[in-house]
Structure 1
């Protein structure tokens, strides 16, 4: 059995989702027990096959005659400790959270159990809204909206570049003391400014002000500069280590949309910072 595969089952008569999938697995010589199938469903790996696919989490979900469902199986998904996901600042409309390394912001078709959105949904009993993302390998502070009104307000602030994002990174070598980096990533303008805060023997600790928010922007631009982020598994050469990506979203600053003139700054705990 491969580590990642899909089980597609069509109901020829009304029956529960778990029974339908178990029957399909047995006929296809796929070694998945009913208990394993139930766990995968709880983890958000089962979907309706329709114009707008929806997750099926309950094993007793009744699949109607002619309906097709799909189970996406990834045997490499590991449990994550979600206890380090903590709220640092909160109002009725939003919360600012610390995201630990290894935790995804949102799920994939293979599941969403160990993600910020699913974890907060379970904690609060209502669906939260993702405003921006951090890479799986990156820890740090991020905003989660609790209401649609909050999601709209912060999405507009991000579009207008009104949310100040500060990062800390350990990079290979000793770059210039401060610099503004401008380049193009995926056809879009990418801008950041950084300042060296501490020089070590073979590396430097820098503070980065992100002007734009492109995917992997800091990692890409420091690699282009010749000083890749330490521990980056994707970008750079000679920057490997034993402790993982040394990139932290350390601070967010923004205007509270519901408290005029109230400028909010939230930093991650001191022990999580690089300097």
Structure 2
């Protein structure tokens, strides 16, 4: 039998998420937001968004999803560790690897590999994301920082939030960009038409991406991108928004225009202050061989 919560609106006014936080004192704000994102909340039988306004007489039904139990297993998956000390590690994640377990990817993830290769991982995030300070998409390759204790995690996460860390990517995009540099300042949030996608929307979270042209080809451009913010799919959404979608991107760009398994996007440079010593650290890794080969083919 499904677990359900029913709420009838009497005199309350305003957004449904805020009303539910007030009414359901036994549940956290983040839990209520999660239900809304999972389309588990209806008003009068209609699935609604968090910003939907309530009216007197509305019948709200929350169908609580069955909990998914995930057993974290250390797996001997090859991992390229670029740097490691007692506080943290820097990993070069291969294309095709998911960062942490989920219902669709219970194992084979970066976290499963980290549990095998590293002795300690921070515990600040939930149980399925030990050590994970930030993420890159499954089919994006490149550099990620991993925290081995909570103090290091807090320091690295604060640098991301304060925009003091350095994150540079290289991407191959469709079209020929005529100007040398540009900045995309456009808010990003969940798409209004497809819940699995992100989009540039007026009420989204601030998102800023800087780009520099590195090389031009007939129908493609190689660009370097620097992130100020770290929204979900930020580079992919922003480049599609200005008309130059990332090549190979199955979600935001034309499919299968080049050989490969996913978007041509690589987290090339990562910089931060070491959480214990304060020393400036900058790491750089070359793009994967498939990426290099595609560029050679375009040059020829």
TM-score by length of 2: 0.62
**Among candidates 77, 88, 108, match of residue 82 of structure 1:** 77
Residue 177 of structure 1 corresponds to which residue in structure 2? Answer: 180
Where 1:189 maps in the other structure, the secondary structure is coil
Corresponding position of 2:267: 249
Gaps of 5+ in 2: 1-65, 122-129, 190-203, 296-300
Q: In structure 2, what is the equivalent of residue 206 of structure 1? A: 223
Residue 140 of structure 1, CA deviation: 0.5
| Alignment map for 1:183-262 (pairs within 5 Å) | 183-186=186-189, 187-237=204-254, 240-243=257-260, 244-260=262-278, 262=279
Deviates more, 1:95-104 or 1:119-128: 119-128
Does the Cα contact within 8 Å between 1:233 and 1:240 map onto a contact in 2? no
* Alpha-carbon distance in structure 2 between the residues aligned to 1:56 and 1:137: 24
Q: Secondary structure at the match of 2:164?
A: coil
User: Cα 1:100–1:271, aligned 2, differ >3 Å: closer, same or farther?
Assistant: closer
| 1:121 paired to 2:124 | no
CA RMSD of aligned residues (A): 2.7
Alpha carbons 1:113, 1:119 under 8 Å: kept: no
Q: Given that residues 172 and 239 in structure 1 are in contact (C-alpha distance below 8 angstroms), is that contact kept between their aligned partners in structure 2?
A: no
d(CA) in 1 for partners of 2:209 and 2:287? 23
1:156 equivalent in structure 2:
158
Give the number of aligned pairs: 203
Secondary structure of 1:108 counterpart: coil
Match of 1:96 among 90, 95, 108: 90
CA contact (8 A) 2:76 2:113 kept: no
Query: Shift of the alpha carbon at 1:89?
Result: 1.2
Alpha-carbon spacing, 1:131–1:201, altered in 2? closer, same or farther (3 Å):
same
**1:270 & 1:102 partners in 2: Cα distance?**
14
* Structure 1 Cα separation of the partners of residues 186 and 244 of structure 2: 15
Aligned to 1:142: 144
1:268 matched to which residue of 2? 285
Q: Which residue of 2 aligns with 1:11?
A: none
Greater fraction of residues in strand:
1
TM-score, structure 1 normalization:
0.67
Match of 2:199 in 1: none
- Contact persistence 1:228–1:239 (CA under 8 A): no
Question: Following the alignment from structure 1 to structure 2, what is the Cα–Cα distance between the partners of residues 216 and 57?
Answer: 26
- 1:26 is matched with none
CA contact (8 A) 1:131 1:144 kept: yes
Cα displacement (A) at 1:201: 1.8
